[in-house]
Amino acid sequence: MTEQIVVVGNGMAGARLAGELYARGEDLKVTVLGAEPHRAYNRIMLSTLLAGKIGESAVELAEVAGRGVDVRTGVTVRAIDRTTRQVRTDDGDTIRYAHLVLATGSRPVVPPLPGLDPRRLPDRVVAFRTLDDCRRIRALADGARRALVLGGGLLGLEAARGLAARGLDVGVVHRVPYLMERQLDPAAGAMLADTLADLGVTAHLAVAPVAVAADAAGVRLELSDGTVLDADLLVLACGVRPDTALAEAAGLAVRRGVLVDDQLRSSDPRISAIGDCAEHGGGPTGLVAPAWAQARVVAQLLTGEDPRARYRARPVVTRLKAAGIDLAAMGDPADGPGEELTFADPARGTYARLRIHDGRLAGAILLGDNPSVGTVIQLFDRGQPVPADRRALLLGRAVGGDVATPAASPALMPDAATVCQCNTVSKGALVSCWRGGARSVDAVVAGTRAGTGCGGCRDAIAGIVDWLSRADPVEVTR
């Protein structure tokens, strides 16, 4: 396979595809064209970068190069010519393709508000999407006291959390009465708002923005209830829209995203689309896991490794994890048939709601300190049967475990109970040794070898010897 593969986009999906192709191909010709001037980076880590805990180098991703893979950054594709099968770039280049993969991602939505021109946002207003956006926000946040975030979804809260971690006073404005309404229920949303409040983030709920005014001194947001909020910067996190401009111009079938089948092919079989720009089944998810699964399928198909590879959408898990916040949401726990499991501990900010249908997890919201979170995610992701003892879903795997608990008193311990595992010495054997004349811990140890392995049972042996020396062993044990 030496036919040229061109990948448009060097983001989470495009860079991943290059890596998947590289790992499989012996004889490849792949050109990756990234519009951003940076090497591939991990978009998920931008909120950590925003928090100021890491430097930019920490978000760089491994990038493949050589062995037929050519990555060009700072190159924007202007047009696709499907008849001649070539793409034209902004630097005047044309590149032929045998197969084209669109991984153009998505663009942030700029709400239609007076004072916000999507083509030229005011200086103190930034839509949070790229590394350059992150740089601008960091620059604005330096020396700032107050920040506003428009949008109380996952991205908005991550941005808010990151800005709060820098010491800013942060307000989040959200139209809906509770945060992250796509993933949470009102109770979890309310508890999340409380948790965020402790971290320096104030939620303004059930209010819509009506206008933005920004100048060199600051930014002012007017809300539908008449409130006016002032800040040093405003971050827009109002969702994203698949970037389909190239595909539309080339005449490919597009709904919200570029429509693709199970092989990630668009309406032109020589053009695929993956990641945020693609629409498979239900629509774009904006998450990394599906994009990477899609990259893998495309690589398997294009290299011929597995011509039968097909993408199957899997239910997604939304995870928000930062210092002080631990949230996992999946499926729909609030609606549908089956049993419902709930737990709430508002004082500690812990909330769990799970729905079980046919012995499988249909959905879950876990907020706060839920030791079962890893188990729940795996059970949901893999569609595995839930534990018979449902408490394990709330309290973690160890519930119902046969964790040996030492008997409260040696008197209550059965004679057959093994005290020393290393040398398989039972309580009965220790008692016999005592009766045989051993009258100290050392003597009992020497007589039975108990406690000579790992030594972990020394206290238990001492307890038994102590009990024997006080009680009448013959009467107690018979």
Partner 1 sequence: MTLREEHGQVTVLPREFPTNRGGLCQKGWTSAELLTHPDRLTTPLLRDPVSGELRPASWDAALDRIVTGLRDTQQRHGRDAVAVFGGGGLTNEKAYALGRFARVTLGTRNIDYNGRFCMSSAAAAGMRAFGVDRGLPFPLSDLGRADTLLLVGANPAETMPPLMRWLTEQRQRGGKLIVVDPRLTATARQADLHLQPLPGTDLAVANALLHIALTAGYVDESYVANRTTGFTAVRRTVAGWWPARAEALSGVPVADLEETARALGTAQRAIILTARGAEQHAKGVDTVTGFVNLALALGLPGRPGSGYGCLTGQGNGQGGREHGQKADQLPGYRKIDDPEARAHVARVWGVSADELPGPGVPAYQLLDSLGTASGPRALLVFGSNPVVSAPRAARIEGRLRDLDLLVVADFLLSETAALADVVLPTAQWAEEDGTMTNLEGRVLRRRALHRPPPGVRTDLQILTTLTTRLKGGAPSYRLAHRKGPLLTTIEHAADGADATDGEHGADPRAVFDELRRASAGGLADYAGISWERIDAADGVFWPCPDEDEADSPRLFADRFATPDGLARFHPVEHRPAAEEVCAEYPLYFTTGRVLAQYQSGNQTRRVGALRRAAPQAFVELHPDLADRLEVTEGEPVRVVSRRGEFHAPARLSAAIRPDTVFAPFHWGGAARANSVTNDAVDPISGMPEFKICAVRVEKAGTS
Contacts 24+ apart (CB under 8 A), 411-420: 411/467, 411/471, 411/476, 413/464, 415/477, 419/450, 419/457, 419/460, 419/461, 419/464, 420/448, 420/449, 420/450, 420/451, 420/452, 420/453, 420/457, 420/461
Contact between 61 and partner 1 (CB under 8 A)?
Answer: yes
Size of the site for partner 1 (CB under 8 A): 51
Q: Least Å distance between CB 347 and partner 1? A: 19
The answer to whether 125 and 236 are in contact (CB under 8 A) is yes
Q: Whose Cβ is closer to partner 1: residue 224's or residue 378's? A: 378
Q: Which of residues 441-470 bind partner 1 (CB under 8 A)?
A: 449, 452-456
Q: Least Å distance between CB 282 and partner 1? A: 20
Contact between 348 and partner 1 (CB under 8 A)?
Answer: no
Contact between 48 and partner 1 (CB under 8 A)?
Answer: yes
Contact between 406 and partner 1 (CB under 8 A)?
Answer: no
Among 197, 249, 398, 411, interactor with partner 1 by CB under 8 A: 398
Helix (H) or strand (E) holding 325: strand 325-331
CA distance 103 to 85: 17
- How is residue 122 written in tokens? 């005011």
Q: Least Å distance between CB 389 and partner 1? A: 8
CA distance 231 to 201: 13
Among 127, 150, 317, 464, interactor with partner 1 by CB under 8 A: 317
- How is residue 407 written in tokens? 């008997």
The answer to whether 270 and 99 are in contact (CB under 8 A) is yes
Contact between 289 and partner 1 (CB under 8 A)?
Answer: yes
Q: Which of residues 355-394 bind partner 1 (CB under 8 A)?
A: 369-371, 373-375, 377-378, 381-382, 384-385, 387-388
Residue 52 phi/psi, 5-degree rounding, is: 80, 15
Q: Whose Cβ is closer to partner 1: residue 114's or residue 455's? A: 455
Among 30, 59, 247, 274, interactor with partner 1 by CB under 8 A: 59
Centre a 10 Å sphere on the Cβ of residue 177 and count the other Cβ atoms it contains: 12
Contact between 36 and partner 1 (CB under 8 A)?
Answer: no
Amino acid sitting at position 291: A
| Of 427, 428, 419, residue with least CA distance to 452 | 419
Contact between 54 and partner 1 (CB under 8 A)?
Answer: yes
Q: Whose Cβ is closer to partner 1: residue 422's or residue 462's? A: 422
Residues that bind partner 1 (CB under 8 A): 41-42, 44-45, 48, 53-54, 57-63, 288-289, 317, 319, 321, 326, 369-371, 373-375, 377-378, 381-382, 384-385, 387-388, 397-398, 400-404, 421-424, 449, 452-456
